[in-house]
Structure 1
Amino acid sequence: MRQNKRLKALLKKYKHAYHLHNALIQLSEQASTVAELTLLYPAIHDILQKYVPSKSFYVVLVEPQSQQLELSYFSDEKDGISVPLNRENNFEEGATGYVFKQGKTTYFTKQQMHDAAQQGLFKALGTPAEHWVGVPVYQEKNIIGVLAAQSYDTEQGYSSQQINLLEAISLYLATAIERVKKRELLESEVKLRTRALTQSNDALNVEIQQRKSALQRQQILFKISELTTQAKNLDDAYFQIHEIIKTITYAKNLYIALYDKETGCISFPYSVDEFQGSTQPRRFAKGYSELVISTEETQIIHPQRAQELLDSGIVEREKPIDESRRATSWLGAPLKTSQGVIGLIVCQAYNNEHLFTQDDAELITFVSHQIATVLQTKLASQALKKSHQELASRVNEKTKELSQANLHLQMQIDERKKIEQQLYHDAHHDSLTSLPNRNLFLTQLEKTLKFYQRHPDEHFAVLFIDLDKFKDINDQLGHHAGDEFLISVGQLFSQCIREHDLLARLGGDEFVILLTHLTEPNQAEDVANRIINIMRKPFCTKGICVQSGASIGITYSKQSYKHTDEIIRDADAAMYYAKNSGKNRFELFHPLLTEPMLQHESQTLHHLDVLPMTFRSSDIISMDEHYQYASLFEAFGEHPVLGFTSFDILKKFASDKEQHTKVELQLIQQAYQQAQNAEIAVALLPCSSLLLEEHKFSLLKATLKQPVNNEQLCLLFDEQELRYASAQQLENLKQLKKLGHSIGLNNFAKDKCELNLVTEIECDYLLLSSTFSKRVLQQESYDLQLQGVLAITKLKQIKVIAKGPSILNFRALLDKHGINLFVAKQHPLTSAIPATLKNSELK
C-alpha cells in the first residue's frame, strides 16, 4: 500500500513537471511568434488558465523613465480596467508594491490580506479577492515588475505546484519581453528605412497592385471568417453574407440554397428578390441550382445559354415563367466543403440591369469556399453545441492566421525592402514546401564545414532522408495528394529539430537536415528516431490511406571532409544502405559503404564467420559491498576496412540473416565457456531480437540447453528492438523465461522511457542506457522518470544496472535512488573466439 502511495506521488510530481515543461515551451513559442507586446500578455494568460486559476490576472512592470510601476496587462472578473487605472490606485502602495519591495513570492488569503493591510504593510486596493498570489519578475538580478493572479472563489486557492508554475513563468517572462521588444524595434527600423526608398520601377508598381488586390480578397475572407463568431444566428449570418457579396459584385437579388444528400432536397433558407417572395423547398430536379450542385462548378447563364440548356434537356422548367420576371443574367457558385457540396449561392439580375462576367464568377467562387465553411459551422452548432465550440475554435485560429497574413501583406505593400527580401527568399526556398532548397542548404553546409575546420570541437551531422513508397501515393492518390503529402512531411520534420538546425528539400522526395552544435553523436540518432516514429502514421486523403516511411542516412563531422560533396555522398550512401536493409530506418555512414573493391573482396568483407573476434568484459560493481557482482560481455571483430569494431556494427554488413544467426549463437556458446573459465558469477551478453524469430528460436533453445547453470548467462535484448518486435517474438521471449533462462533489457530509455515494456516482460536485469544516465544528471524531468522506473522494478524484483560517466555526482545520484549496480572499467578477455564456424557446433 505504501509503495502504491509513493508511486502515485511520483506520478503526480511527474505530471506537474510535465505541465511546467509544457507551459514553458508554449511561452517560448509565443515569444518567438507574436508581433508585439500587446499580444504576448494575452497569450501568457491563455497558457496560465490551462494550469492555474487565473481568470483574474495582471502584469505590472517598472517604467524605465519614471521608475514607477505601471500596468502592462489587466484582466479581472469583477473590476473593470478603470479601477486599476484610477489615480488613487497607486501600485507602489498596494500588495503589488509590497511584493515588488520584498522581492519574493507572496500568497494571501482574503483574511491574511485584510490583516496585512490593517498592520500597515500596504493599502487594500480594488475588490478583495479570496485568494491572491504575487510573483516578482527579475531581469538578471534586478526586479523589473510583478505578475499577480487572484481568485474570487473561496474553494479555488493556489497549490504549491501552481505557485511554482507562476514562478517559472516569471523567470522566463523578462526574456520573452526582451525578445518581443527587439523584434518590434527591428521591424520599426526596417519600416523607416524602407519608406525612404523610391518606388519608381514599373514592374514593382504592377506587383504592388497585384498584392493590393490580394489584400482586398484577404480582407473579404477575414470579414466572412468573422461571421462564425460575430453572427448571432444563421439568419444574421445570411444577411451579413449578402452585405459582403454586395461589395464585390451585383447582388440586388440573391438567394442561398442548401442541399441535403440523404433526403435529396434543396431548401432556400435565405432569399432576397425583387419579384419573388420566399422559395419553398423542393426535390432535386433539373433547375439551374441543380446544375451547379451536380457539376460542382460556378455557372453563368444568359438568355442564349438558358435556351441551349432547355433544348438539350439539361435544364427543365416545371411551369412557364413570365418573361418580364425571367432573369436576364444568372450567376451561381457551389458551396463546397471537405464533405462535398452543401448548397450554392446565387445572384441574378432582371431587365438587363447587370450582365455577369467571368470576373464576377471568379470573385464569387473565391469567397464561396469560405462562405461554405462558415455556414457549415453554423449548421453544425444547431445540431451539436460541443461541435460548434470546436469549429468556432478552428475559425478563431484561422482568423488569427488571416490577421497575420493581412499584416504581412500590408508590410509588403509599404516596404520595398521586405519585397526584395521575399524575392530572395523565393530564390532560395522550395516553392511547394517553402523549405530551404538545395542551393541554400549547400551554402549553409559550406559555412558550417569551414567553421568546423577552424573549431574542431563544434561538431555537426547531416541526415539524408528519402521517403519510402512515395510513388505509391502519387499512383494511388494523384500528384495533388503527393504535393499535400510533401508539405505535411516538411511540417512534421520541422517539429523534430531545434530552431537553429536546418531542414531543406533537395527535390522530389529527398530531404536533408543539418544539425549543428552537437554535444554528443546520439543527438542525430534521436532526431532520426523521431522522424521514423512520426512517419509510421499512414497518410490519408479522400478516404484512402497509404503507409509511407523514411530511410535515413547519417554522417558526422570529421577532419577528413574537405568539400560538401563528400558529406552529401556519404550521407546518401548510408541512406541507400538503410533503404536496402528494410526501409523506415536509419543507418550511420561507414567507410565500407563507399570502399571500392573487387567482387571476391566484397564477399569476404561481408562474411562474419571469417573475421577473428574477441570479447571485451566490463565489470558490474556493487556500490554497497564494493565487489564485482557480474560482467557485461561485448563482442568485437577485426575488420579489414573498419578495423577493430563492435559486433553491433559488423552485423549490419552480414551477407545474410542465416550467417548472422550462426555467428551470434556461436558467441553465446563462447560467452558461457569464458564465464565458466573466468569463474564469473553472472555474464550479461547483448543479443539481437533476430534470435526470437520462429525458425531461429529452435536453434537458440538448442544452444541454451548445453550450459549447466542457466542463471550464469543472461541474454540482454535491446529495448528499441523489442518495442517493434512481433507478437511471436515477444511470446518466444516469455518462453525463454519459463524455461529458466535469465533475460534482461539492454539500452533502456535510450530515446524514450516506456514503462509498459517493463511491466509486460518478465526479466531479471534492466541495463539503463548511458544517454539516459547523463540526462538524469542534467534535467529534473528525467530524474522523475528514473524514480518511476525504479518503483516498478522494485515491485517486480528486477535488478537495475546503471551505465554512465564515472564521476562522483553520478555515483551519488545512484546511491540517492538506491541503485547499487553500475558498469565500471572495461578490459579484454584473454581467450579469443575461433574465426571459422562449424555446423556441428550448433547442433
Structure 2
Amino acid sequence: MDKDNNCPNLPKNIQLLQRRISRLKRLAAKYKRAEIIQNTLLEISNIATKATSLDDFYKGVHLHLQQLIPADNFFIASQDPVTGMISLPFFADEKDSHPTELYPDEEISEILSRGITGYVLRKGEPFLCSNEGFDQLIEQGEIEGLGSPCHQWLGVPIKSKGTVNGVLVVQSYNEQINYGDLELELMGFICHHISGVMERLLHNEQLEIAIEERTRELSFAYNSLKAEVHERVKAEKLQKSLFQITEISSLNIQQRDFYTRIHQVISQLIPADNCFISLIEKNNTLFFPFYVSQMAKKYPESRLMKDGLTEYIIKHKKPKLFSADDIALLVKQREIYTQSPELNKTQKMHQWIGIPLFINGEVVGALTIYSLNDQQIYQRRDLDLLTFVSQHIANAIERKNAAESLKRSHELLEEKVNTRTQALAQVNINLQAEVNQRRKIEAQLVHDAQHDGLTGLPNRNYLMERLSQALKHVRRHGLDQFALLFIDLDRFKVINDTFGHLEGDRFLIETAKRLKSCIRDNDTIARMGGDEFIILLDSIHGTTDAIEVCERILHQLSQPFILANQEFKSGASIGVAFSNNNKYDTSESILRNADRAMYQAKSKGKGCYVIFDSQIGYQSEQQSDLDKQFKLAIKNQHIAIHYRPIFDLATNTIIAIEPQASWHTEQHGSWDHKKLNQLAFNNQLSLIFEDYIFKSLTKDYQQLKQKYGVATRLYMTISSQHVNHKHALRGLKNTLKTSVIDLSKLTIFFNENSLVKDIENHLNAFEIIEQLGAKIGIDNYGTGYSSLSSLSYLPLSTIKLDTEISKHMLSETQLKLVQAYRLSVEALDIQIVATGIDTLQQLNQFTALGYQIGQGRAIEKKLQTVSPLSA
C-alpha cells in the first residue's frame, strides 16, 4: 500500500484516498492497542479487588502483564517496613535461577540490597536502565553486578503512604525488546494496585489476628468463669456441709444419732456407702462409735490397738488413699496385718481412704471410707476434701464430748456453787475493803504522776495540761488573757557544789514556798526540774499584772536563805510570755517563748525579767541556726586549725606550739578559739570539738616537727568533761595511746576553775596521763580559785597565766602579785607561761618581772615569725 502511495503516475484523488486508508488503519491499530490495554488493566483491577492472597495476585498480574509488554523476565521484591528485610514473593526469569540458588550461602535480603533492586528501594523512584547504565552504576559503587547481563531493566517502586514497600521489575535480554514511557506508566499503575492489595490484605490479616485473639480471650474467660462457677458451687456445697456439722455438734441428741447425721453430711460430698469412725480410748483400745458397711451389718467391738489399716493411719498421722494393689503391697511388706491377720477384711475392697482425726494437735482416731467396686472411684481431690472436712468433724466430736462432759460436771458444779456462794460473800466484803484501799493508792499515784516529789508542786505534765486548757479558754473568750513566767534560779549549782545536795533540796523547797506566796489561788506554779519553775497566771487584766508578780518574785528570792547555818543569797531570771489570740499558738510554742525570754534575762546579768517579743524570737532562731551550723562545720571539717607559738623570751626561740581553732561564716561572722570553746560547751560538744582539734594536730604532726624542730613541745588545753566520768576518761586514754604523737613532747592543760571543783577525778586522770608519758599543765591560772598549797601535791609541769592578768598590770601592787605567781610556781619546779602579751609594754613588764616564757601578738610581731601552719 505504501508502495502504491509513492507512485506519482496515479491520479491525485486515488493517491488521496490511499493516504486516508493508511491513516485509518493506523488509527484502528492504535485503538485496538488501547482497547487491549484498557481490558488488561481492568482485569488487573478485578484481580486486585478479588485477590485473597498476594501470591494469587502476583500470578494474575504476571499473566495479564504479558499481554501488554514483554514480561517473561518479571519479579516482585517486597521490603518489611519494620525490619527492612527484602524478600522475593514472585520471580520469573528465562536465564537466571532464583537468587537463593545462585547464592545459596547468603541471605536473600543481603543479596537484593547489594543489587539494582536495593538501589531502587533506597532511591524510591522509577528506574529504567540499559546494560551500559548497569556498568556505570557498578563503576560508581552504587550496586554490585548480580546475575546475567540484560539489554534493559525497568523497576518501579511500590509505595504505601509515602513509604517504599517493594519494587516491580521487568527486564529484557533481547535487543529487539525495548521499554519506554508507556511501559513505565503501566508499571506505575500496577504498583498502585499492588500497594492497595498489600494494605487491604495486611488489614484483613491484622483483623483476622485481632478476631482470633479476641475469640481466644473470650474462650479463656468463658472457661475461667465456668471453672469459677463450678468451684463456687463446690465451695457453697462444702460451706453448707461445714455449717451442718457445726449445727449437729450443738444439738442435744444421742451419740448414735450424732454420728449418723455426720455420715449423712459426708455422703453429700463424696460417696460413703462404706464408712466408719474409730476413736482411741484411754486404755489404748479402738472404739467404733459409727460403722456402716455393705459387707457387715454388725458394729465391730472395741479392741486393742494392733497393726490394722486403721492403726497404720493413726501411726503415720497422714491421710492416705490406697488401691487394692497398695493394700496388698503393704501386707506383703509386713506393714499391716502381721500380728492380726484375722482383722484383714480388705480382699474385696477396690479403694480405701483413711483420714486421721486431730484434737488439740493429737491423733484421737480415724475416719475411714472405702469402695468395693470400680463404680465408685476416689480421686486425690476427694482425699483433700475429706481431709479438710475431717478437721471440722474432729472439732464437732470434741465439742460433743465437751458438752457431755460439761453436762456430767454441771450437777457437781451446782453442789459446789452453794458452798462457794457463802465463801464469796465473805470474800466480797474483804474485796471491797481492798478496792477502797486500791482507789486510794491509785489516787495517790495519779497525784504523784502530776506533782514533783521534792516540792509537792505540779510537774511538767500537769502544767502542760493546765496550759492547754488556758489556751482553749482564751480562744473561746477573745478578751481574756494569761501569762506564763519561766523562772530560772541563780547560783543553784554553787549551792550543790558548796553545801551539798541535801541543802540544795532545802533551798528548792524554801524557794517553792516563796513563789507560792507571790501568786493567787487560781494561778498554777510547777517545777520543771532542776532549778526551773513555771507560773501560769490565769485571767490577768494586762501586762502590769504579770510585771507586779515578777517584781514580787525577784524581791522574795533576793532575800537571804539560811543554808547549813550560813546566810546565802540567790536570785532568779524570769522570762514572760503572753497569750495573744494567735491561732497558731500552742502550749509548746508559748512555753518556748517564755524560755527564750528567760535566757535573754540571764544574758542581761540575771536578777531581772524580760517580756518575750519578736526580736527575742529572732535572736533565739539565730542562736539555733548558729548551733546547727557549728555542728555541721565540725562534721564537714570546715573549722580551720592553726598553731600559735610559745617563745623563750631570753633567746627569742619557739619552745612550744599550741593549736588554735577559727571559723568564719557569712551569716554569723568570725569566731576565734575562745568563743568556739564556749559555743562547744553550750552545745555539749566540748569532747567532740577537742577530738576534732586533736585529730588535726595528729595529721599535721610530721609537718610541725619539720618546721619547728623535734624538741618543740605541743600544748593543748582540754575540757574537764574528759575526767567527769569513766567513759570519757577511757576515750581520752585510747586517743592518746593510739596517737602517732610523741607523748613525751605533749603537755595537756586543764582549766584551774574546773580543777578546784573536782580535785579527785582530776587526780585520777593526771595519773593515767602521766603513765602514758604526757605532761600535765594548768590553764587560766590566777583567777583566784586555787591556793598555792594545792599546787604542791599536783603532778604539774607547766602553768599558763590567765590572759586577763596581762591587761591589768597597772599598779605596783598588781605587778608584785604577778611576780609572786612566778616565784611561788618556780619554787615548786614548775614552768610558768605569761599569756596575752599583745603590747610591747606588756612584754617589757613580764621580762622585767623575770618571766622567761611567753605567748602573744607582741612577741610574734617583734620577732616577725612566719605565719602559723594551717590545719
TM-score, with length taken from structure 2: 0.30
Larger Rg, first or second structure (1 or 2): 2
